[in-house]
Structure 1
Amino acid sequence: MNKTALGALLRERRALIDPESHGFTRPTGQGRRAPGLSQHQVDQLLHRTLGTYHRLESGNYPNPPTVLLRDVALLFDLDEQEWVSLCRLALLQDPPGPLHQSSGKEIPGFWQDAVDGIGHMAYVTDSSWDLIAHNSAFASLFPEGQMPSNTMRWMLLDPQGRKLLTDWHNAWAPWVLPQLRAALVARPEDETLRQIEKEVLEDPDTADMYETGATLIHADGHERPLLHGRKGPGWVSICAAQPMTAPGSRLFILVFRRGSSRPHPRLPMLRAH
């Protein structure tokens, strides 16, 4: 626990909450004049024992439960990046999931310009794997110009996906299915992901693999065979990243090389000199 930074974050955000917005009245005579909610009022609003929040803000609450941190974050109206900071400062680890289930559904508009400026196939999906931005190079992958609305469903269940993703049963499905499972762990109430899981469990080609598959949670750095809609067979190197303001969203850059065999041995890792 980083007591100094944790206390500074909590005091700063507590001072921004108007007590009157929560039904408290400010003293008119002598008494407390500090801005924002008092520590006692935080305990009242969170239905916690008196002194609970004081222990957290003062850094005297080792390993505070995530549910307490979440309640504080929601009361203080933290954004997703502040939620990550709170968990890192209090628990020395990232949060188990997003603060708001609605997060990861949108990204700043200039991301489209950024994706358009990438020469390789590139696209961005939201936390439900719905496609929200792509460039023309990615669109060219699809021979009939029919872009998938949800890339997870397309990779696992769409007949066109199973055709273009070469050696789908061995090179793609066993590695994509665990990503669906991981996404549902972080967002168990996501209706889109739940529906995809339902369809996966009803499909004889995916049901068994989903139940017994690997534990991969991302494909960054993988190379897989691909049948490009215009360029023919080849291999794609997958680069994956995340827009920081939208937890659960993903940027994929697909580096395609023609040929039926791997284009080169695995490249060495990059390191600063």
Structure 2
Amino acid sequence: MNKRALKRLLKDRRALITPEDHGLTRPTGPGRRAPGLSQHQVDQLVNRAFGTYHRLESGTYPNAPVDLLRDIARLFALNEQEWISLCRYARGEDPPSPLYDTSGDAVPAAWEDAVAAVAHPAYVTDASWNLLTCNEQFHRLFASGRAPENTMRWMLIDGREQLTDWANAWAPLVMTQLQAALAQRADDKVLCEIERELLSDPLARPLYEVGGTSVHPDGDERPIWHAADGPGWVTMCVAQPMSAPGARFMILIFRPGPRRSSQRPPMLQAR
């Protein structure tokens, strides 16, 4: 627990919340000078016992429950980065899930310029793997000259002929990503529809039902047929926009010809 940082975050954000916006009056008792909600009003609004919020803000509530932190974070309208900070300060760990169901649906517009500046094929998708933006190098991968609208659907359903050795090199790894995403976003309509199509496919269903450990593709190398440059391999570099949990920024480093090595290169580490 980081008591000083926790108190500063909570106190500053509490001061921004107007009691009248929540049907409450501004406290006027002796010594009451602080703006925003009182600590007792926070207890009222998150339906907790008197003194609960005071314990949290003062740093005397070790390992505060995640559901309490989530209720307070939403009351204070924290963003996703502040939500992560709150959990780290109060519990010493990252949150188990995003603060809002809509997180991951959009990224800052600056990502469009960032993607366009990358020399390799690059793109950004939302938490449902819908394509938000990509560069011309990514468009060149496809025979149509246009990137797919949903990269998860392309990897599992529409792009099988382009993804070399799909049943072994792509499907098992991508399918576990889909299963992991649905474990956290069970009501995602786009991902649920992709899962339904896989389960109705005689080739895909047995592979999907095997399951397995979710393998993050960062640094992985997989075979592919480049529409313009022929057969080769892509090394995947993956990052996540910090303001959009579940969204992803992908760079595909394409190398034509046979695979150079079956082993991953060593990790980069500071000396």
Tell me the TM-score range normalised by the shorter chain: over 0.9
**Per the alignment, do residues 2 and 217 of structure 1 end up closer, same or farther by CA in structure 2, a change over 3 Å counting?**
farther
**Per the alignment, do residues 29 and 256 of structure 1 end up closer, same or farther by CA in structure 2, a change over 3 Å counting?**
closer
Equivalent in 209, 217, 220 of residue 219 of structure 1 = 217
Aligned partner letter, 2:43: D
Stretches of structure 2 that go unaligned for 5 or more consecutive residues are none
User: Aligned partners of 1:92, 1:51: CA distance in 2, in Å?
Assistant: 22
1:43-73 CA distances to partner (integer Å, 9 max, x unpaired)? 1111111111112112222222211111000
Q: Is the deviation greater in 204-213 or in 141-150?
A: 204-213
* Contact 1:257 1:263 (8 Å CA) reproduced: no
User: Aligned partners of 1:205, 1:117: CA distance in 2, in Å?
Assistant: 39
1:197 Cα deviation from its structure 2 partner: 1.9
User: Aligned partners of 2:50, 2:74: CA distance in 1, in Å?
Assistant: 19
Say which SS state the counterpart of residue 183 (structure 2) adopts: helix
User: Aligned partners of 1:179, 1:153: CA distance in 2, in Å?
Assistant: 12
1:190 paired to 2:196:
no
1:21 paired to 2:21:
yes
* Equivalent residue number for residue 259 of structure 2: 262
* Contact 1:182 1:217 (8 Å CA) reproduced: no
1:254 Cα deviation from its structure 2 partner: 0.5
Structure 1 runs, 4 residues or longer, greater than 6 Å off: none
* Contact 1:175 1:216 (8 Å CA) reproduced: yes
1:216 Cα deviation from its structure 2 partner: 2.4
**Per the alignment, do residues 27 and 122 of structure 1 end up closer, same or farther by CA in structure 2, a change over 3 Å counting?**
closer
1:10-67 CA distances to partner (integer Å, 9 max, x unpaired)? 1111111111111111245645221111111111111111111112112222222211
1:58 paired to 2:58:
yes
**Per the alignment, do residues 272 and 51 of structure 1 end up closer, same or farther by CA in structure 2, a change over 3 Å counting?**
same
User: Aligned partners of 1:107, 1:250: CA distance in 2, in Å?
Assistant: 10
* Contact 1:148 1:154 (8 Å CA) reproduced: yes
Aligned partner letter, 1:196: I
1:3 Cα deviation from its structure 2 partner: 1.8
Instruction: Report the TM-score, using the length of structure 1 for normalisation.
Output: 0.94
Stretches of structure 1 that go unaligned for 5 or more consecutive residues are none
* Equivalent residue number for residue 242 of structure 2: 244
* Contact 2:14 2:76 (8 Å CA) reproduced: yes
1:228-268 CA distances to partner (integer Å, 9 max, x unpaired)? 11111111111111111211111110111111x21245322
Alignment of structure 1 residues 138-153 onto 2, 5 Å = 138-153=138-153
* Equivalent residue number for residue 134 of structure 1: 134
1:76-120 CA distances to partner (integer Å, 9 max, x unpaired)? 000010011111111211111111111111222221111111111
1:187 Cα deviation from its structure 2 partner: 2.2
* Contact 2:219 2:264 (8 Å CA) reproduced: no
Give the number of aligned pairs: 270
Aligned partner letter, 2:98: P
* Equivalent residue number for residue 173 of structure 1: 171
* Contact 2:27 2:38 (8 Å CA) reproduced: no
* Contact 1:64 1:91 (8 Å CA) reproduced: yes
User: Aligned partners of 1:209, 1:93: CA distance in 2, in Å?
Assistant: 34
1:193 Cα deviation from its structure 2 partner: 1.6
* Contact 1:98 1:186 (8 Å CA) reproduced: no
C-alpha RMSD of matched pairs (Å): 1.5
Aligned partner letter, 1:203: D
User: Aligned partners of 1:85, 1:27: CA distance in 2, in Å?
Assistant: 29
User: Aligned partners of 2:62, 2:202: CA distance in 1, in Å?
Assistant: 48
User: Aligned partners of 1:92, 1:28: CA distance in 2, in Å?
Assistant: 36
User: Aligned partners of 1:4, 1:119: CA distance in 2, in Å?
Assistant: 44
Equivalent in 251, 254, 257 of residue 253 of structure 1 = 251
**Per the alignment, do residues 28 and 244 of structure 1 end up closer, same or farther by CA in structure 2, a change over 3 Å counting?**
closer
**Per the alignment, do residues 243 and 29 of structure 1 end up closer, same or farther by CA in structure 2, a change over 3 Å counting?**
closer
User: Aligned partners of 1:113, 1:31: CA distance in 2, in Å?
Assistant: 51
* Equivalent residue number for residue 231 of structure 2: 233
